[in-house]
Structure 1
């Protein structure tokens, strides 16, 4: 009887070890599955990153686009441990992970610009941030309205901080759910000023290109009195005044797929994807890489 008992215990132990090994083998920095929260305002370029990454490695990444405030809440509650945002967590927001002795791995990915758009029929092609701030503070404004993607988005937070207001006024401020909804609304309404991530203008979906063609990207007045557009050159030289950093926040605490994907985005191929998207890479990639061809060859094989 004792022999049978010991035999059963031995079998259970072997199964446990085998199961642990299987779990370990199933996820490395380049294989396995991962769920990553991503700021909705920068979704297109991250989707491009995932497309190429999954074609190169035996990995599956699920992107979950949400507003910045939703992402921060999920992270602070420990419900997710991977996110791509335009800022880092504050000490209070990261308390859950600090209590577990998990230190964040922060990977800079790109510099992003926030674009102001107007209907093609609108008068003027320039905008002054002082007028934008006045509108956000509820003061008299020459604009029919400012249109944001989401009341809880990183873009809204950026401009609330800029205007030094805790709440936005009820008049002349509009918000939808996505950047595409903002672009569509502005394309149909003269006098409205839309506020969107540059990537949504630079890389629209093919069936949305006609809508994008019906809006103009406005020049923004700089600190020295000149005007600049959210081009790669003006963003890279800090001439364009409305920029922010895109970063991968990794709170896994292990050498998992999050680390591999972050390294990929910060590496040669990932930075070339950033360059092709119209954003500014954190380091300039080489010029001898053709991403689309690599993806197509991988698929053919």
Structure 2
């Protein structure tokens, strides 16, 4: 009899425990729950900042990221393994087939404008370069012997310049790759004859890993090809030049959401384009998707 009573008490305890677990489960809403995002490594720093502030405001939200180059992370999105991704381009129609078969809507939101900066050693006399000169280097036709150094051969930045210069493979001389944006900054600070190619927000003073190298590099001005916007002068990737399209080497930053539900992924996507999310973009050095209006409260002191 005692054994039966013990088993009954144990069973009731197990059921109560399960009920408590169900009750304590964080609900899936736009500001709580869990979501995963694949992130192009070029934009990992700006995403880290966004997630940190978002989670501080919504402590029940768990946003985790997988960072890598486009070739590494895109297949995980295309096969549905992870249904949110940060890219520098929109999906091609052929890349939407998996979600079209499931009849999942894909929402694409631009939240920033990225400038790809060209940097030179501080002792290099060259302060400006034209788009045509950059394309000549990408084609292996540079007569000035200028050399470009990128983060890595599979990065979206390399792909951007290959597409822009209309080349299908990198030349044997004149273009070199390392591993990361920080590697490029360090390399150019120590080597006078190379031009580094990095995202603007990697040059921020909040990037503690490269603070000691910043005094030894300079950002070059770039002049666009004749007939295009930005061909009247040499422009640096300032926020004004990015927003107004004057700097030639710029690209949009998109969050692509195919989660198929109104949950935390949708909430985070909306956050990126909220005034607070756009302020973080502004502070990072990138161009915001939309300008933040400033309201002034004028008091009558008469």
TM-score of the pair, normalised by structure 1: 0.85
Say whether the 8 Å CA contact 1:75–1:94 is kept in structure 2.
no
1:24: how far off? 8.4
Counterpart of 2:264? 257
Shift of 1:212: 2.1
Matched, 1:162 2:164: yes
Runs of 4 or more, structure 1, over 4 Å off, are: 21-25
Pair 1:266-2:273 in alignment: yes
**Corresponding residue for residue 255 of structure 2:** 248
- How many angstroms does 1:33 deviate by? 1.8
For residues 97 and 167 of structure 1, do their structure 2 counterparts lie closer, same or farther at Cα, with a shift above 3 Å needed?
A: same
In the TM superposition, residue 191 of structure 1 has moved relative to its aligned partner by 1.2
Aligned counterpart for 1:284 among listed residues 266, 277, 291: 291
- Corresponding residue for 1:37? 38
- 2:78·2:95 contact (CA, 8 Å) conserved in 1? yes
* Correspondence for 2:218 among 216, 232, 237: 216
Counterpart of 2:101? 99
Question: Residues of 1 paired with 2:70 and 2:83: CA distance?
Answer: 14
Residue 55 of structure 2 is matched in structure 1 by: 54
Q: Could you tell me which residue of structure 1 aligns to residue 11 of structure 2?
A: none
Count of matched residue positions in the alignment of Structure 1 and Structure 2:
275
Q: Secondary structure at the match of 1:131?
A: helix
SS of alignment partner, residue 111 of structure 1:
strand
| 1:151-230 paired onto structure 2 within 5 Å | 151-222=153-224, 223=228, 224-230=231-237
Cα gap change, 1:179 to 1:144, in 2 (>3 Å): same
Distance 2:281 2:145 in 1: 33
Question: What secondary structure is seen at the aligned counterpart in 1 of 2:169?
Answer: coil
Shift of 1:206: 2.5
Whose Rg is larger?
A: 2
Q: Matches of 1:22 and 1:177 in 2, distance apart?
A: 46
- Structure 1: distance between partners of 2:27 and 2:111: 27
Give the distance between the partners of 1:113 and 1:141, measured in 2 at CA: 26
The answer to whether the 8 A contact 1:203-1:277 is kept is: no
Contact 2:83 2:259 in 1 (8 A): yes
* Between 72-81 and 147-156, the greater mean CA deviation after superposition: 72-81
How far 1:65 sits from its partner (Å)?
1.5
Instruction: Give the CA deviation at 1:56.
Output: 0.4
Using the TM superposition, give the Cα deviation of residue 103 of structure 1 relative to its aligned residue in structure 2, in angstroms: 1.5
Instruction: Tell me the secondary structure at the aligned position of residue 227 of structure 1.
Output: coil
Check 1:23–1:152 CA distance in 2 against 1; reply closer, same or farther (3 A cut).
farther
Describe the superposition over 1:192-221 as per-residue Cα deviations: whole angstroms up to 9, x where unpaired. Answer: 011110010124423421112211100001
Q: What SS class does the counterpart of residue 85 from structure 2 fall into?
A: strand
Structure 2 counterpart SS, 1:46: helix
TM-score by length of 2: 0.85
Cα distance in 2, alignment partners of residues 28 and 141 from structure 1: 58
Q: Write the distance in 1 (CA, Å) between the matches of 2:142 and 2:249.
A: 22
Deviation at 1:141, TM superposition (A): 3.7
Secondary structure, in 3 states, of the residue corresponding to 1:213?
helix
The Cα of 1:54 is off from its aligned counterpart by: 0.4
Tell me the CA shift for residue 55 of structure 1: 0.1
List gaps (5 residues or longer) in structure 2: 1-14, 296-302
The runs of 5 or more residues in structure 1 that have no matched partner are: 1-13, 289-301
- 8 Å CA contact 2:185–2:210 kept in 1: the answer is no
Tell me whether 241-250 or 279-288 shows the greater mean CA deviation: 279-288
Q: Secondary structure at the match of 1:167?
A: coil
